[in-house]
A and B are shown apart, each in its own frame.
Chain A
Amino acid sequence: MIGLGLPRGFIVTLKNFIRPAVTEQYPDRHIGLLGVAKEAGMNPFQFLVKKPADSLKAIAGLATVPVAVEQAARFRGNEFTFFEDRCTACASCAKYCPLGIIEIVSVPGKIDAQEGESYKLDVFDIDIGRCMFCGLCVEACPYDALHMGTSFERSKYARDELIITKEELFDADKRPSSWYRPQFEEKSFDPFKETIDDHYDAGRHERPSDEDLKKKWVDER
């Protein structure tokens, strides 16, 4: 064991010297001439002739391409995804939050003869500045209205701006993480490529077809 330890160490470091770097460059990656040509879909010589200025820039190591960081679909990200049509304002999420940073105020909504009384969401604020992204609120939501988001670029200059309001949640892109949402994994939904626009798609069950509904509610009665 003891004897040629130091030379062996030098060989290990030299091997790693030759090996490609594992650094993930973010937000953009520096690429050389080959990389630029590959981006443009040409071979390097073609590119050199057609775009000499870009080629020079690439040879000088100044050409960059934006990179998307590889994330898992279950990534618990910085923005919540919220489907207002699914929310019944039950405030389970607020109860389960270990830090109590979800504020919910609900007002009595319309009274429907068929569905009964419902509540309307008046205030739904999440204080991201204190959130630790444990995801217990998502786990608690019985109607799959609240989901973890997948993005992580939400830094702000003032602490107040870190509070996500209801309107902000309504307007945001719906890219829910599949954290505690097995239905997304079954559908192999990729939050980094597609969004969910229809709130029925976010639920645990498929929406029954109109025929089934009719059969259940009209024919059987």
Chain B
Amino acid sequence: MGQAFLDNSLWRNVYCFLAGDSSSCASRDYSAGLLPAGMEWLAFAIAAIIIIGLFVNGVLGGVIVLIWGERRLFGRFQSRTGPNRWGPWGTLTSVADAAKTMFKEDVVPADADKILFNLAPILIAAPALLVFSVIPFGIGTYVADLNVGVLFIMAITSLTTLSVLTAAWSSANRIAILSALRSVALLISYEIPMALAVVGVIMLAGSMSLGDIIVAQGIPFILVQPLGFFVFFMAAMAEMARAPFDLTEAESELAAGYLNDYASMKFGLFFLAEFMAEISTSAIITTLFLSGWRGFEPIPSHFWFGAKLIAVLFVIIWFRMTLPRLRIDQVLKFAWKGLFELTMINIIVTAILIAIWPEPTVRHLWYMAAVNWPVAILSIWLVTKLLGTPAYDRTQPDSNAPEYPVGSEEIPASSAYVVETSAQEGGD
């Protein structure tokens, strides 16, 4: 599992197949490319288009499957069957939904800021797709292995809120504005614990590149960094506005929040972006904490990645199905008073451990896990103790408490149910 594997990216393979003689392909066996020398720019463009097409369509296909799978799982959690009418096991349901969405009337409110209103769906879909460029889906299957990959993800995901704010502002709808302001508050609060939660992982791996982080995971970092995983998971749920933090879309309060005025495929793009965010979040969690594509040898790496991704998605859907929503002040309190402290504890403990074992081997990682788990459980217990709502002092009225005037009041005979016995003949 060395540098050679990581260097073996899909894009570079296509590029070198087309333009073999270039210097960047010197270490490879491609003696001559398909294109003549001097046409490296064309090889570059073709390779880029192929890779973009592959990733975008792959992600969109994944979204279609995810929508179906999520609805099936929703059904199972609610002891229903879920959609099963169109196609085998209902797999064509989301295809039918997509067709329906595209043919709906595209309504733009009269008061809307037309340019921004049309721009917002594009603004939200583009960053959601960009995140996938740094995620390694398997050995060699990635677009770019940035040396600041984690930082890139953090930067790109926070763009989502900008487009949410744009959408809400441009549709000139007060409910949408309330939703967007909640979204901004959520982002500002949860970006910090999310970034700090990754610090532990970065310290252990010694790199911000996702490829290096996977290579460093002799054992999955969820075992070494339970606290980091907990905080990152919660913050990620909040970032993509999933239950119990789905305040931006809060169906029972804000109807659909910032999506209120969107119809047709513009709504569809928001919807797609939301599900893309779900997939990318699961992929990031898989990469950072579940050792990405690593697994036993005979089974291919892509399969391992997919299996872990689906497991994380299942947990996210399980959370969404089970938990009620928190209130906005509670959500913010949870971020600043709960998760922030937890990340600080995590960083300090991890720093001490790394000071003891500067170059952690697998055995040292197990030692770290043994230290980290008690710390995690203790600190989470402490935080819940501090933040939790205390129970009632007393729920039953005192037996000797003064009765309210109503307690002794006699019901007037005219309004009590008393049948007078003098049965009278009525009617015909």
Contact = CB atoms under 8 A, between A and B. Distances in A.
Nearest to A1: B391
Contacts of B323: 6, 9
Nearest to B321: A13
Nearest to B244: A6
B388 A13 contact: no
Contact of A62 (B77, B81, B88): B88
A23 B81 contact: yes
B396 interface: no
A21 interface: yes
B75 A9 contact: no
Given A1-B391, A10-B322, A17 B77 contact: yes
A21 B81 contact: yes
Contacts of A86: none
Contact of A61 (B89, B388, B389): B89
A17 B76 contact: yes
Interface string A14-29: 1011011111010000
A95 interface: no
B88 A2 contact: no
Contacts of B90: 61
Contacts of B88: 60-62
A1 B390 CA distance: 11
B389 A2 contact: yes
Contacts of B87: 62
A208 B77 CA distance: 59
A30 interface: yes
A17 B81 CA distance: 10
Contacts of A23: 75, 79-81
Given A2-B391, A23-B80, A13 B89 contact: no
Nearest to A11: B322
Contacts of A16: 77-79
B244 to A, nearest CB: 10
Nearest to A16: B79
Interface string A55-87: 000001110000000000000000000000000
Nearest to B391: A2
For A2, A13, A20, the residue with the greatest tally of chain B CB atoms inside 10 Å of its CB is: A13
Contact-residue bracket for chain A: 20 to 34
A84 B141 CA distance: 78
A2 B392 CA distance: 10
A21 B391 contact: no
Interface residues of B, number: 19
Contacts of B389: 2
Nearest to A14: B318
Given A9-B322, A13-B321, A25 B81 contact: yes
For B76, B87, B389, B391, the residue with the greatest tally of chain A CB atoms inside 10 Å of its CB is: B76
Interface in B26-61: none
Contact of A21 (B79, B89, B318, B388): B79
A55 to B, nearest CB: 14
Contacts of A17: 76-77
A21 B322 contact: no
Interface string B63-101: 000000000000111111100100111100000000000
A2 B393 CA distance: 13
A65 to B, nearest CB: 14
Nearest to B91: A61
B229 to A, nearest CB: 17
A17 B391 CA distance: 30
Contacts of A61: 84, 88-90
Contacts of B80: 21-23
Given A2-B391, A21-B76, A13 B81 contact: no
B35 to A, nearest CB: 44
A22 B80 CA distance: 6
B96 to A, nearest CB: 15
A17 B317 CA distance: 12
For A1, A20, A21, the residue with the greatest tally of chain B CB atoms inside 10 Å of its CB is: A21
A21 to B, nearest CB: 5
Interface in A156-206: none
Nearest to A59: B88
A22 B318 contact: no
B303 to A, nearest CB: 22
A21 B75 contact: yes
Contacts of B81: 21, 23, 25
A25 B81 CA distance: 9
Nearest to A5: B388
Contact of B79 (A19, A30, A60): A19
Nearest to A25: B81
B89 to A, nearest CB: 4
B69 to A, nearest CB: 14
Given A21-B76, A22-B79, A13 B322 contact: yes
A142 to B, nearest CB: 15
12 contacts: A2-B388, A6-B323, A10-B318, A12-B322, A16-B78, A20-B79, A21-B75, A21-B79, A21-B81, A23-B75, A60-B88, A62-B88
Given A12-B322, A30-B89, 12 more contacts: A2-B388, A9-B322, A13-B77, A14-B318, A21-B75, A22-B80, A23-B75, A25-B81, A61-B84, A61-B90, A62-B87, A62-B88
Interface of A: 1-2, 6, 9-10, 12-14, 16-17, 19-23, 25, 30, 60-62
Shortest 5 CB-CB contacts between residues of A and residues of B: A60-B88, A61-B89, A61-B88, A23-B81, A21-B81
